[in-house]
Structure 1
Amino acid sequence: MTTIYLVLLQGGILAYALLAGVFLAFSDFIMRALSRTSGIGGPEAMQLINREVFRWIFMTLFMGMAVVSLLLSGLAALSLNTPADTLILLAGLVYLVGCFGVTVIRNVPMNERLAAMDPATDTARDYWTGTYLPRWTFWNTVRTLACALSSVLLLTALVWRTAAY
């Protein structure tokens, strides 16, 4: 196993776990707290959060892991000689589908719809409570589980690989 490959695996484990933690915080308590705000507080705060998420730290981690996942999955798919290769392939695919794909297909469209609304309107409050909170939180939980599973799969693969050496 090359040093670069080892660093990619170790960095991937850490990055997947960090992303899982961010998403877990939203599913576990941030969204619940926002749902308990009065008036326009929840939708307005989420609009602000959705604008701030584009800061370079989170986006570098989130987008970077899509690239790393493609790279790791591609390298693993080329060999598939050991169960560890299969786990690495699965880790990348789980992230790409369960986190990145869900974000693009589910969470971002809801964020964009909320961003276009005036939080002071009944339409925004109805969308916030009836659609956004339950659906966004559900799909965010899917992202949390996908990132956690990707981290566990990579960790297991790394342990398996290093035990073989």
Structure 2
Amino acid sequence: MSPIIFYLAHFAVLAYALVGGVFLAFSDFIMRALSLTSGQGGAEAMQAINREVVRWVFMVLFLGLVPVSLLLAAYGALVVGHGPGFVMMLAGLTYVVGCFGVTAVFNVPMNKTLAGMETSAEATLDYWSRTYLPRWSFWNTVRTVACGLSAALLLFSLAWAAQSPA
């Protein structure tokens, strides 16, 4: 295995786990805590979180993992091959589809809808409690699992490739 790919894959395992940890916090307690506030307070807090998340380290990791994942998937399929390469490919594709894809298709549209709403409006409170909280939380949990699975699959593929004869 190329040394560059080897180190990039180790970085990706850590990055998958870090991104997944952020999602886990939301699935485990942040959304539950926001649901216990007044609907207006929870929706307003989530609007602020959604504005701030795009500004720093999380977004660099989240977006940066897309090309890294695609590179690792291609490398696993085309260069490593066999069992370890297939697992490496699965790790990359799991992140791209299960984390990034779910975010783009489900979570971001809900965030945009919430961002355009006045937090004191009755329609916002209804959207927040009946639609946003349950659906956003479900899809966030899917992202959490996808990140954890990507990290585990990539780590497993690296260990398997290290045990395989060259």
TM-score range, shorter chain: over 0.9
Give the gaps of 5 or more residues in structure 1: none
* Cα distance in 2, alignment partners of residues 24 and 88 from structure 1: 23
Q: Figure out how many residues of one structure are paired with residues of the other and give that number.
A: 165
Q: Which amino acid aligns with 1:57?
A: V
Counting aligned pairs with the same residue, the percent is: 58
| SS of equivalent to 1:119 | coil
User: How many angstroms does 1:76 deviate by?
Assistant: 1.6
* Cα distance in 2, alignment partners of residues 39 and 88 from structure 1: 43
- Residue 141 of structure 1: aligned partner: 141
| SS of equivalent to 2:76 | helix
User: How many angstroms does 1:51 deviate by?
Assistant: 0.1
* Cα distance in 1, alignment partners of residues 81 and 70 from structure 2: 18
Scaled by the length of structure 1, the TM-score of the pair is: 0.97
- Residue 94 of structure 1: aligned partner: 94
Q: Which amino acid aligns with 1:36?
A: L
* Cα distance in 2, alignment partners of residues 30 and 76 from structure 1: 36
Q: Which amino acid aligns with 1:71?
A: L
Deviates more, 1:70-79 or 1:48-57: 70-79
Deviates more, 1:124-133 or 1:73-82: 73-82
Q: Which amino acid aligns with 2:135?
A: R
- Residue 12 of structure 1: aligned partner: 12
Displacement over 3 Å in runs of 4+: none
Give the gaps of 5 or more residues in structure 2: none
Alignment partner of 1:29 is 2:17: no
- Residue 52 of structure 1: aligned partner: 52
* Cα distance in 2, alignment partners of residues 101 and 59 from structure 1: 15
- Residue 123 of structure 1: aligned partner: 123
User: How many angstroms does 1:39 deviate by?
Assistant: 4.4
- Residue 69 of structure 2: aligned partner: 69
Q: Which amino acid aligns with 2:14?
A: L
What root-mean-square deviation, in Å, do the aligned CA atoms of Structure 1 and Structure 2 show? Answer: 1.0
